[in-house]
Amino acid sequence: MTLLPPSFRALVIGSSGTIGSAFVELLQADKACIEVVGIHRHSEYPIDYRHPETIEAAAKTLSLGGPFQLIINTIGVLHSKEWMPEKKLADLNSEQLMDLMKINAIGPALTIQHFSTILDPQHSVMATLSAKVGSIEDNRLGGWYSYRASKAALNMLIKTAAIELARTKPNTGLIALHPGTVNSRLSQPFRGEQIGRPALDAAADMLKVIQNLGKEDSGCFFSYSGEKLPW
């Protein structure tokens, strides 16, 4: 039996981003989705990982509307105006490493902490976007130290939380989800426009993976194709 029920309420975290907005558009057109709520830094219920207190505040406010059966967290950062992914060890710096940990690991971990309380205990899924380059076993090229490390940390946090929730909410699934290369602001410096897929296609692939999840899949790392990825 799948974890996502035939009729569900959905929440998209990071809904102003390329992939987040694609998920909102896709879910609005899905007849099984009776309501979709999107939140981001400037939404009615703002969430900003540079201000961790907004995470708990947003979860508390949204809890007043009842549980969600699907939560998708699309927030993440790869580069900024100040820095790009490191090509070599000599490029590593503490500010960049701490910033990516804050956005890609600490923020999502606190989101799981607070938003898992508003997941429907009967049937629900929380999917957090990760990245294949966060797989330690799959790392063959090196480089991108901060991004790889932050996503590897995220994967461990998801796995650990899934083990705990299996005891307290056995019908809830937590997964890490790799979207592939998508034509977005995040991927543009890396030929995203040439090699990336449209965001709607990526969101549709990932939603299909979510719709087919069973209890045994909680705590796993999936590609958009449905392939289980190594940690």
Give the model confidence (pLDDT) of 19-40 as tens digits: 999 999 999 999 999 999 999 9
Spatial CB neighbours of 216, under 8 Å, sequence gap ≥ 6: none
With respect to residue 3, please indicate whether it lies within any of the assigned structural domains: no
With respect to residue 15, please indicate whether it lies within any of the assigned structural domains: yes
With respect to residue 121, please indicate whether it lies within any of the assigned structural domains: yes
In this prediction, residues 115-129 reach a mean pLDDT of 97
Residue numbers of the domain that contains 53: 8-223
Return the DSSP state at 119: B
Q: How many CA atoms lie within 13 A of 29 on its CB side?
A: 9
With respect to residue 228, please indicate whether it lies within any of the assigned structural domains: no
With respect to residue 44, please indicate whether it lies within any of the assigned structural domains: yes
Q: What is the pTM of this model?
A: 0.93
With respect to residue 229, please indicate whether it lies within any of the assigned structural domains: no
Give the model confidence (pLDDT) of 141-175 as tens digits: 999 999 999 999 999 999 999 999 999 999 999 99
CATH number of the domain enclosing 116:
3.40.50.720
Which tokens go with 163? 């083990």
- Percent of the chain residues past pLDDT 90, beyond the cut: 90
- The answer to whether 37 and 30 are in contact (CB under 8 A) is no
Which tokens go with 94? 């503490």
With respect to residue 157, please indicate whether it lies within any of the assigned structural domains: yes
With respect to residue 50, please indicate whether it lies within any of the assigned structural domains: yes
Structural domains counted in the chain: 1
